[in-house]
Amino acid sequence: MSAREHLITAAKELLWERGYEAMSPRAIQERSGAGQGSFYHHFASKADLATTALGEVAAEMQETFNAALHTNKPPLERVRDYLRQPREALRGCRLGRITQEQALSLDPLRHFVSSYFLYCKQEIAAALEQAQREGAISATIDAADVATTLVAVVQGGYVLARASQDPQQMDQAIHGALALLDTIERR
Amino acid sequence: MSAREHLITAAKELLWERGYEAMSPRAIQERSGAGQGSFYHHFASKADLATTALGEVAAEMQETFNAALHTNKPPLERVRDYLRQPREALRGCRLGRITQEQALSLDPLRHFVSSYFLYCKQEIAAALEQAQREGAISATIDAADVATTLVAVVQGGYVLARASQDPQQMDQAIHGALALLDTIERR
DNA sequence: GTCTATAGCAGGATAGAC
DNA sequence: GTCTATCCTGCTATAGAC
């Protein structure tokens, strides 16, 4: 692996562990094994490296999301699969965390985050609409609203888990959402 | 208002706007109109001032929460009132934001946040249980799980709103939650 | 209680040699 | 491409006068 790739890998780790502001070029260099010279040879700035790193993170997260939502299962089951995906609740969301940082003002970074959430919401809404057409769930609910709610539950689950330093908070939030989903199902 | 109070007020504002790490003693002094001397005369450190400030914030937020939940309305309606409370979605949650900061390792700060969420969850769960006893909602759902889900929706709503810089994301998440709540209601 | 001066350190980046 | 040395700035806090 080249120095450039080592730097990106280190940045992805540190963005998750500490966030953008708290990720110093020094720390990136130490973790990657690359020196100052390599850093500023391959990237114009810390923001530049972070953009590359977060882009990779966004791509990975979208793939993970698709693994749950793009299967041959019935649509409502695919939504449940998304909710039930394993998550490292205490580490927080790799994209959502940017949301609470000054770095949110860096447009390229924010773009990755908002695009990811938009994608999740749209795919979940599409699945819910399909479930409605198939008569699996109530036709009166607003699929887009509920899709947003479900994505919010996951993000909120991270917040609650970190606040109490208890990963079960995420599980509880997810279980509650699954229970509510069961209720709109027609049997 | 004394210099001490000016400092606390400024810290509360800056904690909301920028978070703990990005809130410099300099900025607090400038906004409060107090000098270095006053700062370190009244508080031992930035962490000390932040603890005092966040304690006041937590108290205010609990009061706001109680305004919705502690009324004479039917329990399910009180839960809805909580969800429908006005929120400045783009500014984020004054307590939830700490969750994504290094400052989470400062135990006094984290305590305010986790206590607040615990309180909200318990009160909402109690209201849902009362609704169950009154036969207003399905008796089969787990009130504690759903209470956690609802608190998570609000926190997630902040995340989504900030990510897209669109306060409507919060409204959408809340609407979806209200729609799901309607579904568990017995009519 | 409040002021000014100052210290020590880390962040982010540049320069120029190799 | 990578290294070391160096720069400037701002953060957090202390010192000591008033």
What average pLDDT does this structure show over A104-111?
Answer: 98
Model pLDDT for residues B6-57, shown as the tens digit of each residue: 999 999 999 999 999 999 999 999 999 999 999 999 999 999 999 999 999 9
Interchain pair B169, A148: CB under 8 A: yes
- Rounded to 5 degrees, φ, ψ at A86 are -65, 145
Interchain pair B157, A156: CB under 8 A: yes
The minimum CA-CA distance between A139 and chain B, rounded to whole Å, is 12
At A58, the amino acid letter reads A
| Radius of gyration, CA atoms only, chain A | 19
- The yes-or-no verdict on residue A186 having pLDDT over 90 is no
CB-CB neighbours of B140 under 10 Å:
10
Cβ-Cβ contacts under 8 Å, B144 against chain A:
172
Nucleotides of D strand lying within 7 Å of any protein CB atom: 1-6, 10-17
Model pLDDT for residues A25-72, shown as the tens digit of each residue: 999 999 999 999 999 999 999 999 999 999 999 999 999 999 999 999
Interchain pair A179, B114: CB under 8 A: no
Cβ-Cβ contacts under 8 Å, B184 against chain A:
180, 183
Residue with CA nearest C1' of nucleotide D16 = B37
Residue of chain B whose alpha carbon sits nearest to that of A145? B176
Mean pLDDT of chain A: 98
At A175, the amino acid letter reads H
CATH of A54-184, picked from 1.10.357.10, 3.30.420.40, 1.10.1040.10, 3.30.70.60, is 1.10.357.10
CB-CB neighbours of B45 under 10 Å:
11
What average pLDDT does this structure show over A83-97?
Answer: 98
Burial status of residue B135 (CB atoms within 10 A of its CB: 0-12, 13-18, 19 or more): exposed
pLDDT band at A5 (very low <50, low <70, confident <90, very high): very high
Rounded Cα distance, A117 and A62, in Å: 9
- The yes-or-no verdict on residue A175 having pLDDT over 90 is yes
CB pairs under 8 A between A and B: 184
What average pLDDT does this structure show over A121-125?
Answer: 98
Rounded Cα distance, B72 and B34, in Å: 45
Model pLDDT for residues B85-127, shown as the tens digit of each residue: 999 999 999 999 999 999 999 999 999 999 999 999 999 999 9
pLDDT band at B186 (very low <50, low <70, confident <90, very high): confident
Cβ-Cβ contacts under 8 Å, B138 against chain A:
183
Whole-number pLDDT of residue B2: 96
Domain ranges of chain B: 54-184
The minimum CA-CA distance between B35 and chain A, rounded to whole Å, is 26
Question: Tell me, in Å, how far CA of A50 is from C1' of C13?
Answer: 16
CB-CB neighbours of B97 under 10 Å:
26
- The yes-or-no verdict on residue A187 having pLDDT over 80 is no
Question: Tell me, in Å, how far CA of A21 is from C1' of C5?
Answer: 30
- The yes-or-no verdict on residue B187 having pLDDT over 80 is no
